[in-house]
Structure 1
């Protein structure tokens, strides 16, 4: 099992637009889970599950691509979107 994590901060003034955008994107990507930091409001982490390393790497590439529908999320982020792939051990 592999997971791709994407982490970023959303400024308060972008919060409502961001949440609406994520709700619409989640419809076509139910495998993505979204979390917000309890100690750091506005810090979000997406968790994507993947069966193979190749699939997880593809999710990471898609998630960071400026050509992806997800790039709209990146434009709302305060700073960079960071993404990593992890495997279970």
Structure 2
């Protein structure tokens, strides 16, 4: 199991619009879980579960693609799309 992890801040004035948007995305993608920071309101992370590295990288590519349906939320991020950070994580194994 791999994880694709996205992190970004949403402008306070766009938070309700974002929450509606992300609920639609969660309904369409069962592998997606979204969390808001308890210490930092308006800081959000997405955790996507993926079965393989390839699947996680496809999710990452979709999240960062300028033609993606996710792109509209870049207007709600201070600093725009450049401030949406996405990483892929793999399970660790003992050496």
TM-score where L is the length of structure 1: 0.95
Unaligned runs of 5+ in 1: none
What's the counterpart of residue 12 of structure 1? 12
Alignment of 1:12-31 (within 5 A): 12-31=12-31
Alignment of 1:43-82 (within 5 A): 43-79=43-79, 80-82=83-85
CA shift for structure 1 position 75: 2.4
**What number of residue pairs does the alignment pair up?**
89
List structure 1 runs of 4+ shifted beyond 2 angstroms: none
User: Which whole-Å deviations, capped at 9, do the CAs of 1:4-60 have from their partners, x for residues lacking one?
Assistant: 000000011010110011111211112100000110000000000001111101100
Query: Matched residues in 1 for 2:9 and 2:45: separation?
Result: 9
Query: Matched residues in 2 for 1:42 and 1:21: separation?
Result: 14
What's the counterpart of residue 87 of structure 2? 84
Query: Helix, strand or coil for the counterpart of 1:78?
Result: coil
CA shift for structure 1 position 74: 2.2
CA shift for structure 1 position 73: 1.9
Q: CA RMSD in A?
A: 0.9
